[in-house]
Chains A and B, each alone.
Chain A
Amino acid sequence: MTALWLAIGFWLAAWGVNVWLSGSRFGRTGPGRALVPILFGVTVLVLWEGLVRGLGIAGVILPAPSVIAARIAGSLPTLWQDFVQTILKGAIPGFLIGSGAAFLTAIAIDRSPFLQRGLLPIGNFVAALPIVGLAPILVMWFGFDWQSKAAVVVVMVFFPMLVNIVAGLQACDRMQRDLMSTWGASYLQSLVKLRLPAAMPFIFNGLKIASTLALIGAIVAEFFGSPIYGMGFRISTEVGRLGLDMVWATIAVAALAGSVFYGLITLIERWVTFWHPSQRH
């Protein structure tokens, strides 16, 4: 029980510190802003550990964070192999192909308002559909290895990206386009120098949505058949034999990969769209 009380004590203390931090002047500076959420995350972990130890919760229901950390440290090669299979071979190529294809499609239909009017409502609708359902079909077509996972990701990523890029290409206003044409800019010049840069905030918005979809697609597709490694495979088999510490270890890797992926896109966005109001501080 001591572990539980210690954890609760830590929780209250961290809570107090956070309340003080968020009200103080330090909380408005950069490090202060980062410290508050970190402290919150650490508190959740400590509370989790305390609950599991203090109440004696069995490892097959909820393993403690320390057990999970030990499992991560103990099976790095397996986790790395799964990571390579699912993220590097499945999610990332699918993400690149899918958003690349969406980009090319958007450019191709850019000169035809007719096609855009037809494709946008359909794209919007398809983007809202549960496309993960295609996973079993694509696994049947492309086999069990990473190709089918990449294919699922391509399909999942394509429509949200297409909708965002088409919307982005229409983002600059009449005045700006007129200005380009008074300068005698060709279609290509006005596309490259005005409309693509203006579309970037929309494109990055789409990329952020697509980055989470890519991981979901790659992992779900593995539930329908995969070689004997991969994160989705690991989760579904380890759940079956109640190796929950391994499941949580894989989830931790997935969470880390997802956050890093998202963070990378945000960094590139900051670099590309430095001119946008949302990026100025």
Chain B
Amino acid sequence: MNRVLPVLTVLAGIVVIWYAAAIWMNSTWVFDQANRAGTPVSWAEVIPQTMTQDRPLLPPPHQVGAELWKGLFGQAITSKRSLVYHGYVTFKGTMMGFGLGILAGVLLAMAIVRFRVMDMSVMPWAIISQTIPIVALAPMIITLSSQMGLSGRDLPKAVIAAYLSFFPVLVSMVKGLRAPDQMQLDLLKTYGASEMATFLKLRLPASMPYFFASLKVAVAASLVGTIVGELPTGAIEGLGARMLIGSQFGEPLIMWAALFAAAILAGLLILVVGFVERLARKRMGVPA
């Protein structure tokens, strides 16, 4: 209760501000209409009209909620208008990018920890790679892959998502693989352990808490990457494409519903990853 109450209060505050903003922003349209008709309107008449416009500047929460409900449960999940369907497309892209990002991050981290030359030459570029706005590359990656004869946009989307999600994994894994201290390394040396054995029995287990801690950041980054991959590129499926369609056809409700669907997807992904993390920590005997 001690934790839920403040969150609920802040949420309630947000909803109140949202309604106030919706009345304020949508009222311009109502006043315009009234002016054109030549009939003055009072605020008591304006407020109800700001709540039910078809194309509001800022849709009030209940309209977004209704549209979201319609998109999620209002139709068969195979329909092109179903947000479940588009969410699944985005989810698939996110997972592919996430997997690719984990693989790239872990492999690079292993190489960086093992070879000093990799550490010195690749690590600075890995950091620089994250200061490059990937979105600049997104349209590029998609044309490139279509010219190389790869049809479909699953792979380019996954590449963009992986580009954003490999970095947190890389940084945490490098830290984690270096976590064992000199004493522990020396002990394994006295046992005559091979490099492989040291890696498998000491470094890898020691890095696991770091690995799982990085996954939450990585999955969120991967979702952002997937949505960006769907946005500017004329995709027709996925939540990003839904937002684009809403923007092009001037349907703010579609845009907002897609945005909230993306938020729900992000929340679910973070919950699942957090659950896996807790499971792994418990399994490894780390106090939660």
Contact = CB atoms under 8 A, between A and B. Distances in A.
**Do A and B come from the same complex?**
yes
A239 B136 CA distance: 11
A269 to B, nearest CB: 14
Nearest to A255: B132
Contacts of A137: 247, 252, 255-256, 259
A147 to B, nearest CB: 16
B44 interface: no
A128 interface: yes
A23 B119 CA distance: 12
A7 interface: no
A223 B3 CA distance: 40
Contacts of A125: 266-267, 270
A99 interface: no
Nearest to B127: A262
Contacts, number: 169
Given A129-B266, A130-B224, A60 B57 contact: no
A281 interface: no
A104 interface: no
Nearest to B25: A141
Nearest to B11: A122
Interface string B87-109: 00000000000000000000000
B78 interface: no
B121 A36 contact: yes
Contact of B232 (A23, A36, A236): A236
Interface in A219-257: 219-220, 223-224, 231-232, 235-236, 239, 242, 244, 247-248, 250-251, 254-255
Given A132-B227, A133-B258, A254-B136, A259 B9 contact: no
A136 B136 contact: no
Nearest to A139: B247
A239 B9 contact: no
A239 B143 contact: yes
Given A128-B220, A220-B228, A254-B132, A136 B243 contact: yes
B197 interface: no
Interface in B125-164: 125, 128, 130-137, 139-140, 143-144, 147-148
Given A115-B6, A212-B130, A33 B228 contact: no
Tell me if B's interface is mostly helix, strand, loop or mixed: helix
B117 A132 contact: no
A56 interface: no
Q: How big is chain A's contact interface, by range? A: 35 or more
B40 to A, nearest CB: 27
Contacts of B20: none
B255 to A, nearest CB: 6
Contacts of B263: 129-130
A174 B119 CA distance: 39
Contacts of B262: 129-130, 133
B111 to A, nearest CB: 13
Q: How big is chain B's contact interface, by range? A: 35 or more
Contacts of A224: 244, 247
B285 interface: no
Interface in B9-43: 9-11, 14
Interface in A50-69: 60-62
Contacts of B283: none
Contacts of B2: 117
A231 B139 CA distance: 13
A92 B90 CA distance: 31
Contacts of A236: 139, 232
A121 B7 contact: yes
A41 B6 contact: no
Contact of B121 (A40, A139, A244, A255): A40
A37 B112 CA distance: 13
Q: Report which residue of B10, B133, B147, B263 has the largest number of chain A beta carbons within 10 angstroms of its beta carbon.
A: B133
Contacts of B192: none
Contact of B125 (A41, A134, A231): A41
Interface of B: 2-3, 5-11, 14, 57, 116-117, 119-125, 128, 130-137, 139-140, 143-144, 147-148, 216-217, 220, 223-224, 227-228, 231-232, 239-240, 243-244, 246-247, 250, 252, 255-256, 258-259, 262-263, 266-267, 270
11 contacts: A37-B123, A115-B10, A121-B3, A122-B14, A212-B131, A215-B131, A219-B135, A219-B136, A232-B232, A255-B131, A259-B132
Cβ-closest 6 pairs across A and B: A118-B6, A136-B247, A118-B10, A40-B121, A223-B232, A258-B131
Given A18-B120, A133-B258, 18 more contacts: A33-B120, A36-B117, A36-B120, A41-B125, A114-B9, A117-B6, A118-B7, A118-B9, A122-B11, A128-B270, A129-B263, A133-B227, A133-B243, A133-B259, A136-B243, A140-B252, A220-B228, A255-B128
